[in-house]
Structures are given as structure tokens and as C-alpha cells.
């Protein structure tokens, strides 16, 4: 199918970047002071004698040269083997699969939230441009953008979890409650409300601004004036004609922001104790677990490439002129 062929081509085109990222990160991490055995000894509180430490280094594969380690890593990667995690003692692919759902859930929820409300408020602001709804929305948007996300997250926990007790203070779901089916979904949803809000608010501000600017630009175009002159209903004009065109920059932005969102999830997952990839990556850096970190980088790069690809597909749908091109 054409879509699959396109996807394949896109992936092939991204391989050089992927390679640069992985090899670059690997070499960069060799410069970090201390290795994963040092991190383990820090956790143990000391007391390991030299023989044990040497054994540990051999156990983690750190006793061979850097070039040999890199070679081994790349050779495993070609066979799609992401290696063994030093922290977890499990294959990296297993570890990532366990942590992926939380991150995917958080990212898609935040993205949907930001996109939907960004669209909505952007349209409202554009329709009432320079009047008070516009000013309020634009100002609020900027305030959300400028607020440090972790600060907002912590304050939200204090207000909603501790004082009001409306929402849980962290975690992904209630442990050992034995919930199933819809009750479980509702439980997980309640755990994700605050994290989604925290991560989504920044992007909401961005989408709001872009949507507003884009709407304003499109509204000045000829075809809109023509439609108005024809006497078409304003709402119809907006929904059938303007939105389609105005949404293009929004959609592009999704692709551009995918990587940033993943980075932002590190802090949000820390504050809300969510078992996601962001926090896993941070742990991997601190504990010098190269295999896990590179695995996450690999997966997130694939994710970004995937999202950009989907964005291009949607783009082609929205603007048929583009589909005629090379896609």
C-alpha cells in the first residue's frame, strides 16, 4: 500500500539521523564521570571490596574498551536487540514496553487537551479580535506559557489532593484495589487529570497563539471575503472553509513539539510519580544505564518520526494541493 511504502521511505530517510543520535549519545556518555557500578555502590552504601567491584564491572560489560562496547551495541541494534538494562536486570525492550503506556497516555492526553482547547480558544480569540475576550484569552495563554510546569504541578497537588482531596496525589492507579473494566479506567483517568493539565497547559498556550494568528491570516484571504459576499452563514464559513486552512500550522506544530513534550514529561512524571519513559530516562542518566537511555532515545526518536509522518498524512488530507506533491 502506498502509505506503507511512504512510511518505509520516510524511515529509511531518517536512519542517518538516528545513527547520529545513538552513536553521538553513546560517545557523549562515555565522558560522564562515574559508571553504572559507581551508581550501584552509591545505592548499596558502600562496603564492596575491590574484587567484588571488578566482578560487577565485568558483569555489566564495562571491562572492555569503549570501541568494543560501541561495536557490540551497534551490532545488537542491527538485530533489533536493545540490550540489557543495568538498573532492572531485564531486557531494555521489556522495560520500555512496561513504561511506554504511561508516557503514551500522558502525551496523547496532553496533546489532545492542548490541541482541542487551543483550537477552541484560538478561534474565539480570533473572532473577537482585539476585544476583551481576545485580550483575556491571549493574556491567560501567555501566563500559562510562562509558568514553570513543575511549580504548577506541585501547587496543583497541594490544592487538589491535599486540601480539597478531589484528586489523587500521584501514581498511575490505586494499588491493590482490584478494580477492573470501567471502574479501573475511571481510576486511571482520575490519576491523569493533574499531570495532563500540567503538561498540557504550556502547549495549550502555544497552540492558542498559533491558531489565533493562523485564523487571523486566513480570515483576510480572498475566498473568505467571497464567501461572505455570497451571504454564507459566518459559522459555516468558519467551520467549512477557514478552519481547514488555519489548522495547517497547528498540525505541523504537533510534529515539531513531539520531542519537546517528551522532554517536558521528565519533570511532570517526577512530580506525579508516573511510571513513564521520561522519568526512566532521568534515572538512566543518573545511574549511567547506557543501554536503557539509548533505548529510550531510540524509541522516542522513532515516535517523533512516526508523529511527523502522521502529521504529513493529515496535512495531505487537509490541503489536497500538497498530496499531489512528493508527500
Partner 1 sequence: MDMTRRRALATSAAIAASVNLPHMAFAQETPRRGGTMTVHFATEQRILNPSLQASTGVYIVGGKIQEPLVDLDGAGNPAPCLAESWESTPDGMTITFRLRRGVTWHDGRPFTSADVQFTAMEMWKKILNYGTALQQFLDAVETPDAHTAVFRYSRPMPLNLLLRALPDLGYVSAKHIYEGTDIRQNPANTAPMGTGPFRFVQYERGQFIIAERNPTYWRENLPYLDRIVWRVITDRSAAAAQMEAGQVLYSPFSSLALADLSRLGRDPRFEVTTRGNQGNARTNTLEFNHRNPILADIRVRRAIAHAMNIPFFIENFLGDYAKLGTGPIPSTSPDFYPTGMPQYGFDRALANRMLDEAGHRRGAGGVRFTLRLNPAPWGEDIALFTTFIQQSLQEVGIRVEIVRLDAAGFLRTVYNDWNFDLATGWHQYRNDPAVSTTVWYRSGSPRGAPWTNQFGVVDAELDTIIDGAATELDPTRRKARYEDFVRRANTELPIWMPIEQIFLSAINRRLRNHSNMPRWGSSSWHDLWLAS
Partner 2 sequence: MRFFRNYSRSPAAVVGLLLLLVVIGMAATADWFFPQDPLNLAGRPLQWPGANPRFWFGTDNSGRDIAAQIFHGARISLLIGLVATSIAVTVGIVIGAIAGFYGGWVDDVLMRVTEAFQTLPNFLLLLVFVSIFGSELLTVVVAIGAVSWPAPARLTRAEFLSLRSREFVEACRTLGMRDRQIIFREILPNALPPVIVYASVVMAVAILLESALAFLRLSDPNVASWGNLIGLGRDVLRTQWYVSAIPGVAILLTVLAVSLVGQGLNDALNPRLKGR
What is the CB neighbour count within 10 angstroms for residue 47?
7
Residue 138 binds which entry of partner 1, partner 2, none, with Cβ cut-offs from 5 to 8 Å by kind?
partner 2
Cα distances from 142 to residues 138, 139, 146, 268, in angstroms, run 6, 5, 6, 20
Owner of C-alpha cell 513534550: 261
Please select the residue that binds partner 1; options are 6, 120, 169, 179, rule is CB under 8 A: 169
Query: How many whole angstroms separate alpha carbon 253 and alpha carbon 204?
Result: 12
In the complex, the smallest distance separating the C-beta of residue 36 from partner 2, rounded to whole angstroms, is 13
Nearest C-alpha neighbor of 288 from the set 57, 21, 47: 57
By CB under 8 A, is residue 47 in contact with partner 1? Answer: yes
Query: How many whole angstroms separate alpha carbon 29 and alpha carbon 293?
Result: 10
- List the grid coordinates of 57: 564491572
The DSSP call for residue 60 is: T
Residue 92 binds which entry of partner 1, partner 2, none, with Cβ cut-offs from 5 to 8 Å by kind?
none
In the complex, the smallest distance separating the C-beta of residue 177 from partner 1, rounded to whole angstroms, is 10
By CB under 8 A, is residue 280 in contact with partner 1? Answer: yes
Please select the residue that binds partner 1; options are 279, 292, 309, 311, rule is CB under 8 A: 279
Instruction: Note the helical H segments in the chain.
Output: 2-30, 36-44, 50-59, 66-78, 92-127, 132-146, 149-156, 181-219, 222-229, 234-236, 243-272, 277-286, 290-318, 320-323
By CB under 8 A, is residue 285 in contact with partner 2? Answer: yes
**3-state class of 172 per DSSP?**
coil
The footprint of partner 1 on residues 98-157 (CB under 8 A) is: 98-99, 154, 157
Backbone angles phi, psi at 91, to 5 degrees: -60, 140
Q: Which residues are paired to 91 by β-bridges?
A: 84
By CB under 8 A, is residue 39 in contact with partner 1? Answer: yes
In the complex, the smallest distance separating the C-beta of residue 249 from partner 2, rounded to whole angstroms, is 14
Residue 39 binds which entry of partner 2, partner 1, none, with Cβ cut-offs from 5 to 8 Å by kind?
partner 1
Contact between 80 and 277 (Cβ < 8 Å): no
- List the grid coordinates of 316: 495531505
Residue 145 binds which entry of partner 1, partner 2, none, with Cβ cut-offs from 5 to 8 Å by kind?
partner 2
Residue 220 binds which entry of partner 2, partner 1, none, with Cβ cut-offs from 5 to 8 Å by kind?
partner 2
Nearest C-alpha neighbor of 310 from the set 302, 107, 116: 302
The DSSP call for residue 159 is: I
Q: Which is nearer to partner 2, 115 or 298 (CB)?
A: 298
Please choose, out of 72-80, 251-259, 274-282, 315-323, the segment that lies near partner 1 by the rule CB under 8 A.
Answer: 274-282
# residues contacting partner 1 (CB under 8 A): 53
In the complex, the smallest distance separating the C-beta of residue 219 from partner 2, rounded to whole angstroms, is 8
Please select the residue that binds partner 2; options are 214, 305, 309, 312, rule is CB under 8 A: 305
Contact between 217 and 291 (Cβ < 8 Å): no
In the complex, the smallest distance separating the C-beta of residue 235 from partner 1, rounded to whole angstroms, is 45
Query: How many whole angstroms separate alpha carbon 238 and alpha carbon 130?
Result: 18
Provide the binding-site residues for partner 2, judged by CB under 8 A: 14, 16-18, 20-21, 24-25, 28-29, 31-33, 129-130, 135, 138-139, 142-143, 145-151, 154-155, 158, 162, 213, 216-217, 220, 256, 259-260, 262-264, 266-267, 270, 281-282, 285-286, 293, 296-297, 300-301, 304-305
Provide the binding-site residues for partner 1, judged by CB under 8 A: 32-36, 38-53, 59, 86-89, 95, 98-99, 154, 157-158, 161-162, 165, 168-172, 175-176, 270-273, 275, 279-280, 285-288
Amino acid at each position: 500500500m502506498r502509505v506503507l511504502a511512504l512510511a518505509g521511505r520516510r524511515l529509511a530517510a531518517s536512519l542517518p539521523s538516528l545513527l547520529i543520535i545513538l552513536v553521538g549519545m553513546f560517545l557523549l556518555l562515555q565522558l560522564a564521570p562515574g559508571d553504572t557500578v559507581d551508581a550501584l555502590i552509591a545505592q548499596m552504601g558502600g562496603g564492596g571490596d575491590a574484587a567484588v567491584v571488578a566482578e560487577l564491572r565485568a558483569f555489566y560489560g564495562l571491562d572492555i574498551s569503549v570501541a568494543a562496547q560501541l561495536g557490540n551495541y551497534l551490532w545488537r541494534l542491527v538485530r533489533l536487540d536493545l540490550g540489557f538494562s543495568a538498573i532492572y536486570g531485564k531486557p531494555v525492550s521489556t522495560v520500555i514496553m512496561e513504561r511506554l503506556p504511561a508516557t503514551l497516555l500522558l502525551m496523547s492526553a496532553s496533546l489532545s487537551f492542548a490541541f482541542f482547547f487551543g483550537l477552541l480558544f484560538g478561534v474565539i480569540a480570533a473572532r473577537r479580535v482585539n476585544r476583551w475576550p481576545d485580550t483575556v484569552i491571549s493574556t491567560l495563554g501567555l501566563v500559562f506559557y510562562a509558568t514553570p510546569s513543575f511549580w504548577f504541578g506541585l501547587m496543583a497537588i497541594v490544592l487538589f489532593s491535599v486540601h480539597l482531596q478531589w484528586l489523587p496525589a500521584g501514581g498511575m492507579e490505586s494499588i491493590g484495589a482490584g478494580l477492573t473494566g470501567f471502574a479501573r479506567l475511571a481510576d486511571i483517568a482520575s490519576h491523569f487529570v493533574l499531570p495532563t493539565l500540567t503538561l498540557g497547559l504550556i502547549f495549550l498556550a502555544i497552540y492558542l497563539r498559533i491558531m489565533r494568528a493562523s485564523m487571523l491570516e486566513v480570515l483576510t484571504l480572498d475566498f473568505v471575503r467571497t464567501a461572505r459576499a455570497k451571504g454564507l452563514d459566518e459559522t459555516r464559513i468558519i467551520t467549512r472553509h477557514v478552519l481547514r486552512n488555519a489548522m495547517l500550522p497547528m498540525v505541523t506544530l504537533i510534529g515539531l513539539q513531539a520531542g519537546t513534550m517528551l522532554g517536558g514529561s521528565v519533570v511532570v512524571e517526577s512530580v506525579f510519580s508516573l511510571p513513564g519513559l521520561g522519568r526512566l530516562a532521568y534515572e538512566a542518566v543518573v545511574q549511567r544505564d547506557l543501554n536503557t537511555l539509548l533505548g529510550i532515545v531510540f524509541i522516542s526518536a522513532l515516535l517523533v518520526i512516526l508523529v511527523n509522518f502522521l502529521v504529513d498524512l493529515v496535512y495531505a488530507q487537509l490541503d489536497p494541493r500538497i498530496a499531489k506533491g512528493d508527500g
